[in-house]
Amino acid sequence: MPAERGLTLLVTCLAVISGACSERPTDTEEPPIVPAATPTLVATVSIPPAYGIHDTFVRDGLAFVSAWNTGVMIFDVGNGVQGGSPSSPQLIATYATPGGETHNAWWFWNPNTGEKKYLFVGQEGPGALGATSSGDIHILDVSDLSHPTEVASFHVNGAGTHNFWMDESAQILYAAYYNQGIVALDVSGNLSGSLSNRLVDSLRPGGAGDTYTWGVQLDHGTLYASDMLSGFWQIGLTAGHFSAKRGGDNVPDRYTSDLTVANGFGYTGTWGSNRPGVVGDAVKIWILGASSAPLLVDSIVTAGIGTVSDIKVSPDGKLLMFTAERGPNAGFWFYSLSDPATPAYVARYLVSSGVHTGKFGTIGGRLYAFGAEDPPEPALLILDVTDIDR
């Protein structure tokens, strides 16, 4: 790895009690030139450049790769069904969803029936930030992994879906729906045809004109949402219906991207060429309370990138990962959560073309990071990060 000079500044809150938080460097120490451990690339899987790869869902040794107009590609990365492993992924099947633009997926494990039958696939169609979006949810029957079949779909007029989160015990899918906000969908029982009658509730957290929701995550009965325009939200739930909302309008300097919630803290990314000329090079750190709005307490600002595109916490809650695009320091970045309020730099893995999304997967007792390398040569990247998860 090259020497790392002044790449990351840790930014702290000046007035936690009042909730006012401004960015100023408090630790200008350079990350260590030789980290105690580094990520190890174990596989690079080329993806057809029909845009390429957007997202990956990893579960039970299977990787569901959302490969845009190629469709969903299902890989054995340790399940055993096709003899695959993280270092030797084996393709099981590819299914091109109608309309293409395959963006993300969630493999639903129904604890009430024991079924692992349905794969929910998001289509990200054309849109305009803050104004319009398009794209449906496609539901595939993957009972036979080698022969996926579409059995149902969900459509919202004038809006399109982005990222998902599933409350599997309640059998409710929560979907970020850009200008429509958040949608709650009943996915219990047998699914077929149009699911328009399965809508439980919808909410524009920022209201009309201030809503363009990127992602959602459920944590201990509370739903959290990241909105490109109106920031980070906490939303109460009652039987799948949205109730009190707290937060929002709390990231005025940048557009908000992805989110992850763990250890009583929230972590949100920032995107693109942002509000008043500020690039999306920040990770925002929030204290969460059951009955209070998310409180911004820290930020990580990374030089040499333009977007924090995805952000995740490892299953054991010890490691924060974010992916970065648009700049010489694009790639994977890893921080220890020994103190979840003040993540500490551990390692990075640079990818010159950028990494659009990153997901963790535990396979054979080891921890892996799955990343979507951007065009011109899109690929699924798999890193062994076991040794930095501490």
pLDDT of residue 17: 31
CA dist list (Å): 47 to 43, 55, 87, 310, 382: 13, 12, 16, 19, 13
**Does residue 53 sit in helix, strand or coil?**
coil
Cα 204 from Cα 206, distance rounded (Å): 6
β-pair partners for 213: 178, 227
Token match 């992850």: residue?
A: 260
Domain positions in the chain are 8-388
The type of residue at 346 is V
pLDDT of residue 23: 52
Kind of pairing, strands 379-384 and 366-373? Answer: antiparallel
Cα 165 from Cα 343, distance rounded (Å): 25
List the 90-95 sheet strands across, edge first. Answer: 55-59, 62-66, 72-76, 90-95
Cα 23 from Cα 221, distance rounded (Å): 31
pLDDT of residue 278: 85
Of 190, 182, 250, 244, which is closest to residue 216 (Cα–Cα)?
A: 182
pTM of the model: 0.92
Q: What are the 10-residue block averages of pLDDT along the chain, 390 residues in total?
A: 33 37 39 69 96 97 98 98 98 96 98 95 95 97 98 97 97 98 97 97 95 97 96 94 93 95 97 83 94 93 96 98 97 97 96 98 98 97 96
Kind of pairing, strands 149-154 and 164-167? Answer: unpaired
What is the C-alpha end-to-end distance of the chain, expressed in Å?
20
Of 283, 253, 376, 271, which is closest to residue 325 (Cα–Cα)?
A: 271
Write out the two tokens for 210.
């201030």
Please list, in sequence order, all residues whose beta carbon lies within 8 angstroms of the beta carbon of residue 94, skipping any fewer than 6 positions away. 67, 70, 71, 72, 73, 74
Cα 195 from Cα 284, distance rounded (Å): 36
Please list, in sequence order, all residues whose beta carbon lies within 8 angstroms of the beta carbon of residue 222, skipping any fewer than 6 positions away. 234, 235, 236, 237, 290
Cα 111 from Cα 244, distance rounded (Å): 28
Cα 31 from Cα 234, distance rounded (Å): 33
**Does residue 354 sit in helix, strand or coil?**
coil
Of 159, 138, 160, 158, which is closest to residue 149 (Cα–Cα)?
A: 138
Cβ contact 282:296 at 8 Å = no
Which CATH number does 8-388 carry?
A: 2.130.10.10
